[in-house]
Amino acid sequence: IGGFFQQKPVLKNPFLEDALLQGYLRRHLPSKAVYSELLVFGERLVHEVDGWGRECETTPPTLVTYDAWGCRVDRIVTSPAWRRMKELSAQEGLVAIGYERTYGEWSRVYQMCKLYLFSPSSGLYSCPLAMTDGAAKVIQSLGVSGPTDEAFSRLTSRDPGYFWTSGQWMTERKGGSDVGSGTETVALPQSDGSYRLSGFKWFTSATDADMTLTLGRVADRDGRTTPGSRGLSLFYAPVRNQQGMVQGIEVQRLKDKLGTRQVPTAELLLDGLPAYRLSDEGRGVACIANMLTLTRIHNSVSAVAGMRRILQLARDYARHRSVFGKPLKSHPLHIQTLTRMEVETRGAFLLVMDICRLIGREETGQASQLDAHLLRLLTPVAKLYTGKQAIAVISEGLESFGGQGYIEDTGLPAMLRDAQVLSIWEGTTNVLSMGVLRCIARTSGLILQSYFTHTQSLIATDILPSLSGAVRSVDSALCGLKEFLQDAAVKPPGYLE
């Protein structure tokens, strides 16, 4: 009954639809090769990958604990689409680009632009890629040698048959934020210099990974360990043997989650997991910090990508949905709503890309002291800010579809569910804020001073108005630090007076 059927919002090539992204690349990385690669990739996303992403959502992973004969197998079964995402990630060099460095200091920007296009269609494959990239960075920064030699070449490979993904196992039942007091995992030294890990990892995402980086406490001959953060060391462990079976691990269960249902997130009992120590004893947190920097950048990229995707769909819908006699796009109030979302998204994009630029400079040895300070300060700030922004913008985006924004098989509600995690994993908002404050206090405010003196003058002279919006937001967050600095008896820098 009734002849009207609403035209659904159509996903178009996300690269061609994104004027800001194109403008940014024209300005900073004006390469024909980059342009055409992203153009082709955008087509592939629309016609191929986006469908796989939906399949990852509708066919979530399952855990098979025993085989038919009662043997413990602990096999995580993922969808064919999830496995195709792994192949595609290798082929497209989604991790490799960051290490090939074809575009020098701009290679990270290029890699992150590609991931930004990929993320909303990836069925959350962006999650294992973030950890894989983080692991490669840690290994590279510590010097690739011994057992990590093969791991590094696999993590950064473009060969789908050789490519590995990595996990990042930090969180235990007692503490995910405060890993210093929360980590109970013990590392027993072996005669060949390796270790056996025993403990319980409470959240491990993308547990179908081939290897992991994790934290544990080295035990002495009497089994004693050092408490606190200073007792933690960083370990590398291959997760599976030649037959693809987990070794020294029992998968207790998969988590039943609000969102990110595409990703297998498991609780793991480590029962003598063979591992190699990567950091000096007691330097685990400081060494895994390189991973945190990169995964937090990935998190911010995914946050902005989610905002951009909902906007692209909402804009398309506004052209075709008519209400009160005219299309939504002709209603000023609706346009005001979309415009506010657009401004948030643009500001966040430029902020995050600037951080990608900074890490690219650091990795190619071109970072000044100021760049290093800005990278350290802005990475957690951008992660905490864009995590919250994405939830708000995507929620607003759902409303712009009216009731349809609430209907599961439009694919829209999953976007909001998946966004909700962005402010939790990789450090919650308040924990990141405390980390930033500790870092400022340790440098006696120097790091903050760098931000105010240099970034402000940059805005005045150079940067697009929308970036100044983003920086103003960061400004107000940082100005809120004054009270803390006083509490911590650190002299507030003059510009906060």
What gap in Å lies between CA 137 and CA 151, rounded to an integer?
12
Question: Which of positions 232-271 make contact with ligand FAD (CB under 6 A)?
Answer: 257, 260, 265
E strands, 195-320, are: 195-205, 211-218, 232-238, 249-254, 265-277
x/- letters, 238..277, toward ligand MFK (CB under 6 A): ----------------------------------------
Stretch that binds ligand MFK, among 53-61, 158-166, 351-359, 419-427 (CB under 6 A): 419-427
To ligand MFK, the closest distance from the beta carbon of 203 in angstroms equals 7
Tokens of 92: 């497209």
Stretch that binds ligand FAD, among 21-29, 164-172, 294-302, 365-373 (CB under 6 A): 164-172
Binding-site partner at residue 61 among ligand FAD, ligand MFK, none, CB < 5 to 8 Å by type:
none
Residue from 89, 107, 126, 171 binding ligand FAD (CB under 6 A): 171
Residues 6+ apart with CB under 8 A from 12: 46, 312, 316
Tokens of 410: 């439009």
250-255-258 Cα angle (round to 5):
170
To ligand FAD, the closest distance from the beta carbon of 386 in angstroms equals 17
> Between 11 and 377, whose beta carbon lies closer to ligand MFK?
377
Residue from 298, 309, 321, 361 binding ligand MFK (CB under 6 A): 298
The helices-and-strands tally (H runs, E runs) of the chain is 18, 11
Are the C-beta atoms of residues 101 and 28 closer than 8 Å to each other?
no
x/- letters, 373..412, toward ligand MFK (CB under 6 A): ---x---x--------------------------------
Are the C-beta atoms of residues 427 and 380 closer than 8 Å to each other?
yes
Identity at 245, one-letter amino acid code: M
Tokens of 121: 């269609």
Tokens of 73: 């197998």
Binding-site partner at residue 282 among ligand MFK, ligand FAD, none, CB < 5 to 8 Å by type:
none
Strand partners, 64: 75
To ligand FAD, the closest distance from the beta carbon of 331 in angstroms equals 37
Give yes or no for residue 370 binding ligand FAD (CB under 6 A): no
Strand partners, 250: 269
Residue from 127, 314, 356, 398 binding ligand MFK (CB under 6 A): 127
Give yes or no for residue 157 binding ligand MFK (CB under 6 A): no
C-alpha to C-alpha distances, 226 to 179, 182, 185, 219, nearest whole angstrom: 13, 13, 12, 8
Question: Which of positions 81-120 make contact with ligand MFK (CB under 6 A)?
Answer: none
Give yes or no for residue 168 binding ligand MFK (CB under 6 A): yes
Give yes or no for residue 185 binding ligand MFK (CB under 6 A): no
Stretch that binds ligand MFK, among 3-11, 171-179, 218-226, 478-486 (CB under 6 A): 171-179
Helix (H, G, I), strand (E, B) or coil at 247: coil
Are the C-beta atoms of residues 170 and 269 closer than 8 Å to each other?
no
Give yes or no for residue 293 binding ligand MFK (CB under 6 A): yes
Strands 72-77 and 322-323: unpaired
To ligand FAD, the closest distance from the beta carbon of 48 in angstroms equals 26
Residue with tokens 């997991």: 273
Give yes or no for residue 177 binding ligand FAD (CB under 6 A): yes
Residue with tokens 């951009």: 308
C-alpha to C-alpha distances, 209 to 135, 259, 337, 415, 436, nearest whole angstrom: 12, 20, 41, 24, 30
Are the C-beta atoms of residues 214 and 287 closer than 8 Å to each other?
no
> Between 430 and 444, whose beta carbon lies closer to ligand FAD?
430
Closest CA to 489 of 435, 452, 441: 441
Residue from 10, 258, 286, 323 binding ligand MFK (CB under 6 A): 286
Tokens of 136: 């490669």
157-163-165 Cα angle (round to 5):
115
Give yes or no for residue 435 binding ligand FAD (CB under 6 A): no
What gap in Å lies between CA 206 and CA 101, rounded to an integer?
26
Stretch that binds ligand MFK, among 50-58, 89-97, 168-176, 484-492 (CB under 6 A): 168-176
Question: Which of positions 415-434 make contact with ligand FAD (CB under 6 A)?
Answer: 421, 424-425, 427-428, 430-431, 434
Binding-site partner at residue 438 among ligand FAD, ligand MFK, none, CB < 5 to 8 Å by type:
ligand MFK
Residues near ligand FAD, by CB under 6 A:
168-171, 175-178, 203-205, 257, 260, 265, 421, 424-425, 427-428, 430-431, 434
Binding site for ligand MFK (CB under 6 A): 126-127, 130-131, 168, 170-171, 176-177, 179-180, 205, 229, 285-286, 289, 292-293, 295, 298-299, 302, 376, 380, 425-427, 431, 435, 438
